[in-house]
Structure 1
Amino acid sequence: MLDFAIFAVTFVIILVGAVLYLYPSSRRASGIPGLNPTDEKDGNLQDIVNRGSLHEFLVSLHQEFGPVASFWFGGRPVVSLGAVDQLRQHINPNRTTDSFETMLKSLLGYQAGAAGGATETLMRKKLYESAINNTLKNNFPLMLKLVEELVAKWTSFPEAQHIPLCAHLLGLAMKTVTQAALGQRFRDDSEVIRFRKNHDAIWSEIGKGYLDGSLEKSTSRKGHYENALSEMESVLLSVARERKAQRSQTVFVDTLLQSSLTERQEALYVRSLNCKCKMLKEQFVVLAVCIWAVHFLSTSEEVQRKLCEELEEVLGSDPVSLDKIPQLKYCQQVLNETVRTAKLTPIAARLQEVEGKVDQHVIPKETLVIYALGVVLQDADTWSVPYRFDPHRFEEESARKSFSLLGFSGNQACPELRFAYTVATVLLSMLVRQLKLQQLKGQVMEVRSELVSTPKDDTWITVSRRS
């Protein structure tokens, strides 16, 4: 009996040791270096929460494991790419899928296959790009008007008055996007306020409730979130019915409704998460680009001076026009550097549709691949003095190529970013020719690096009139 007891205890010890030894390697994503799940159900969720955001988690992950690293979302392995060379190697045939939308749809409860097959996806992508182009052309006077109203308001303030950027520019972003996308209904401030309320309710839960799991634990919060989604869908459907009766094609939704989509496809596009994703994305990208551009300009009198000189050379005393924007090369550099320094979109994602390979690592089919753009945008091997705001870096071809590869310019740039650059160019063209922007001394700004990087609290500037 004693011999058996000794054998049994020895066997259990060996078994436990074998499990502990084999468990880590068996749980890594195809042998890619990275973290083992800290919880069987939640994977590395608590590690992400402890770091404060997915971006901060990815920074630490790549510092420890290198440019290709793995972790776990629940029971699902995820591969993260954190350097330009590794992103360049990643071959994914699903080029019709917007990477930001992939993240949003997963957070909002998107079900695979709900939006149709690859042909329909490509058709919607082309339709959306066409709609953005038409919207910019038809609504450029609207952008000029809304920006002019904002700049006039700032000009009327006493010198040295503190201006809260987030509050003022959120209003500009909301009015521009809702009126350009959905039409005259949103000239009514009450409609904008209602839309903003639902927008804020949805976005706050995307930023926090999903990652820490708290949304599912709170019946009241989840109900508030679902009501906001339902109200936003109701507004979109109501606008669609109103606009379909019109013959003009002046706003974004008109292009959708007057296209060759079947009634089923049209309803699918409006009722599904596509329109919600696009509206959320447009508003936050416009807002973020404008906030960060004005903020960074307020830190550099030299950049303001050079930008002012270019504007005077290209535009003279005339307002900016859509056809003149491509000639504003330095303004483009300022906006590129704004996006890079602010880590505007720190995270993107793609689903690996076929087995792929990066370096010596195999990425299995249907693996979620994270592009750790916030890590890459401040990688010292790619960008010299990466934490410094320096628009001149984009005079170099290598910087422009890396930026294009990451999807922030060129053919890979998303239409929403082009829309945001247009609004920001109009804003800067009016601001710097009339006002000098100055940073508020002693201000410490913390950043919320979620799907779009924005200040955690409002950031303030002061303005003075140019002589």
Structure 2
Amino acid sequence: MLDFAIFAVTFVIILVGAVLYLYPSSRSASGIPGLNPTEEKDGNLQDIVNRGSLHEFLASLHGQFGPVASFWFGGRPVVSLGSVDQLRQHINPNRTTDSFETMLKSLLGYQSGMGGGATETVMRNKLYESAINNTLEKNFPLLLKLVEELVGKWQSFPKDQHTPLCAHLLGLAMKAVTQLALGDRFRNDAEVIGFRKNHEAIWSEIGKGYLDGSMEKSPSRKEHYESALAEMETVLMSVAKERKGQRSQTAFVDTLLQSNLTERQVMEDSMVFTLAGCVITANLCIWAVHFLSTSEEVQEKLHQELEDVLGSEPVSLDKIPQLRYFQQVLNETVRTAKLTPIAARLQENEGKVDQHIIPKETLVIYALGVVLQDADTWNRPYKFDPDRFTEDSARKSFSLLGFSGNQACPELRFAYTVATVLLSTVVRQLKLHQVKGHVVEARSELVSTPKDDTWITVSRRS
């Protein structure tokens, strides 16, 4: 789904650059082992470009310098943490902001909710999560219907027909997110198509010109991006006005409208959720179905758990917590695919990891993609093995990294629900098979995605 046009440097690099630009960081050297700047102006940017992605650069950096390492972005030092122990030391006292939301809002030029204190941040986060929980509760039958329509389409395919996961599951994510977040207006396919067009234009272009000014040099690109963003904002403002004061309170935006947020704040939070929700939901579903197609054993275990927990009843929101093996499969999907390989936080006050002092206002990167496949933390780290999450140590490490429990980002919890409904519907009716000779490679950007569309075949379950 992130297979949109992206320049030589990754989207993550641009996000990091934006945070560094918006939050002036310490110019003093940290004393942490790492790379010296390759170039005075760009720091280690060319090293990152040469590695192909920030994740690959960080894997190499930590392989050379250990779990706490530094590099330079322009003239500014950056600290990266690449092991569970070091992340634990830094994460525990620093859970005040959502790094994904902060960077995305910065790039969009949104400031609401970013300058308040800890109390305001907590209240905004609770409201945001409440809005997601409410829309899932009120719209679960609709979500089930959307999934059943897609699975019914797959059922109609001839046995050997190749099914393109990226195309189909992006469509599912777009329909689910827009209809659950914004309401009945997006049951119209034309509205969803328009949203998808603008989403693609914004996501593929956002922040692209930060490093090289490339968008500024291309009037047509700049106009296309600004037009898409303005059109998306207009649509979201229009939706908020249409739904304000109505009796039916079923969508994500409705909960926001019942709060004391301004119309602008409602629009901005709706933008963040719809942009991020589509990305994370689509890619979690794509990777989960792909990995299932590689293991008949896992499919059968999921099928048996459905029989044990649900019998002949359809999946329901209150039963999802009982589907423990489904949770293990999704956890292992996130881990194996490195679904979100990078996170970042601004060091608001001077901190310490091991013997290393991290100066105030330093950007600290969480090299999650490195940690998720660290052999010291995960046995056989490159193997897709949901059973690893029967171990308490694996669950604790995963929760610490922000992928499960109360610390998981709201968009990921939403995506887990959609993916559970999808997998429970699929494995009841179909068997998934790999396409012989088809190799799936990942692009490890802000959210990992297959480099090309991923294909499977399906057959009816007897």
TM-score when scaled to structure 1?
0.89
Counterpart residue number, 1:67: 67
Matches within 5 A, 1:381-392: 381-392=376-387
Structure 1 residue 206 displacement after superposition: 4.3
Q: Which moved more, 1:71-80 or 1:338-347?
A: 71-80
Q: Which of 337, 341, 348 in structure 2 is aligned with 1:346?
A: 341
Distance, in Å, in 1 between the alignment partners of 2:277 and 2:286 is 14
- Residues 343 and 373 of structure 1 are in contact (CA less than 8 Å); yes or no, is this contact kept in structure 2? yes
Separation in 2, partners of 1:214, 1:45 = 16
Q: CA deviation at 1:124?
A: 1.1
Task: Please say if 1:134 is aligned against 2:134.
Answer: yes
The equivalent residue for 2:291 is 296
Rounded to whole Å, the distance in 2 between the matches of 1:456 and 1:300 is 21
Which stretch of structure 1 is more off in the superposition, 360-369 or 91-100? 91-100
* Structure 2 runs not aligned, ≥5 long: 1-25
Distance 1:334 1:125 in 2: 27
Q: List aligned pairs for 1:257-406, cutoff 5 A.
A: 257-259=257-259, 261=260, 265-272=261-268, 274-406=269-401
2:420 to 425, 438, 442: 425
Specify the code of the residue in structure 2 equivalent to 1:421.
Answer: Y
Q: Deviation per CA, 1:388-427, whole angstroms, max 9, x where unpaired?
A: 0000000000000000000001121111111111111110
Range with bigger deviation, 196-205 or 104-113 = 104-113
Counterpart of 1:34 in structure 2 is 34
> What aligned pairs does 1:188-207 form with structure 2 within 5 A after superposition?
188-206=188-206
* More displaced stretch, 274-283 vs 420-429: 274-283
Cα distance in 2 for partners of 1:28, 1:376 equals 27
1:220–1:383: structure 2 CA closer, same or farther, 3 Å change rule?
same
For 1:147 and 1:463, locate their aligned partners in 2 and report how far apart those are by CA, in whole Å: 16
> SS at 1:215's partner residue?
coil
CA–CA distance in 1 between the matches of 2:55 and 2:369? 7
Give the CA deviation at 1:329.
0.7
Contact 1:286 1:419 in 2 (8 A): yes
Deviates more, 1:104-113 or 1:146-155: 104-113
* Paired amino acid for 1:335: L
- 1:214-250 Cα offsets, whole Å, 9 max, x none, are 3344332222222222211111111110010312210
Q: In structure 2, do the counterparts of structure 1 residues 231 and 116 end up closer, same or farther at CA, with 3 Å as the change threshold?
A: farther
Q: In the aligned structure 1, how far is the partner of 2:150 from the partner of 2:361?
A: 47
Counterpart Cα distance in 2 of 1:136 and 1:271? 20
SS of the aligned residue for 1:385 comes to: coil
Q: Is the 8 A contact 2:107 2:207 kept in 1?
A: no
Asked if structure 2 preserves the Cα contact closer than 8 Å seen for 1:294 and 1:428, the reply is yes
Judge conservation of contact 1:354–1:364 (CA < 8 Å) in 2: yes
SS in 1 for 2:77: strand
TM-score under structure 2 length normalisation: 0.90
Amino acid at match of 2:45: L
CA shift, 1:92, in A, is 6.3
What does 1:414-453 correspond to in 2, within 5 Å? 414-453=409-448
State the one-letter code of the partner of 2:368: L
Assess if the C-alpha contact under 8 Å between 1:151 and 1:430 holds in 2: yes
Q: Say whether residues 1:466 and 2:461 are aligned partners.
A: yes
Indicate the larger mover: 196-205 or 171-180. 196-205
Matched with 2:20 is: none
Question: Which residue pairs with 1:120 in the alignment?
Answer: 120
Distance 1:231 1:366, change over 3 A: same
Task: State the aligned residue count.
Answer: 437
The CA deviation at 1:460 is 0.1
Unaligned runs of 5+ residues in structure 1 are 1-25
2:397 match: secondary structure: helix
Which amino acid in the other structure matches residue 373 of structure 1? L
Q: Percent identity?
A: 81
2: CA distance between counterparts of 1:275 and 1:116?
A: 19
Shift of 1:114: 5.6
Q: Which whole-Å CA distance do the structure 2 matches of 1:319 and 1:445 have between them? A: 32
The CA deviation at 1:40 is 2.5
Judge conservation of contact 2:30–2:77 (CA < 8 Å) in 1.
no
Asked if the contact 1:164/1:458 (under 8 Å) is kept, the reply is yes
Quote the Cα distance in structure 1 between the aligned partners of 2:207 and 2:63.
24
Which amino acid counterpart does residue 267 of structure 1 have in structure 2?
Answer: E
Comparing 117-126 with 407-416, which one deviates more in the overlay? Answer: 117-126
User: Aligned partners of 2:439 and 2:182: how far apart in 1?
Assistant: 37
CA separation in 2, counterparts of 1:55 and 1:115?
29
1:463 is paired with a residue whose SS is strand
CA distance in 2, matches of 1:227, 1:94: 37
Name which one, 1 or 2, has greater alpha-carbon Rg: 1
Q: Tell me how far 1:113 sits from its aligned partner.
A: 7.6
1:49, 1:190 → 2: CA distance? 39
Q: Secondary structure of 1:58's partner?
A: helix
Deviation at residue 446 of structure 1 after TM alignment: 2.1
More displaced 10-residue stretch of structure 1: 76-85 or 160-169:
76-85
Q: How does 1:21-100 map to 2 (within 5 A)?
A: 29-91=29-91, 93-100=93-100
Q: Which moved more, 1:204-213 or 1:68-77?
A: 204-213
Give the Å deviation of 1:437. 0.1
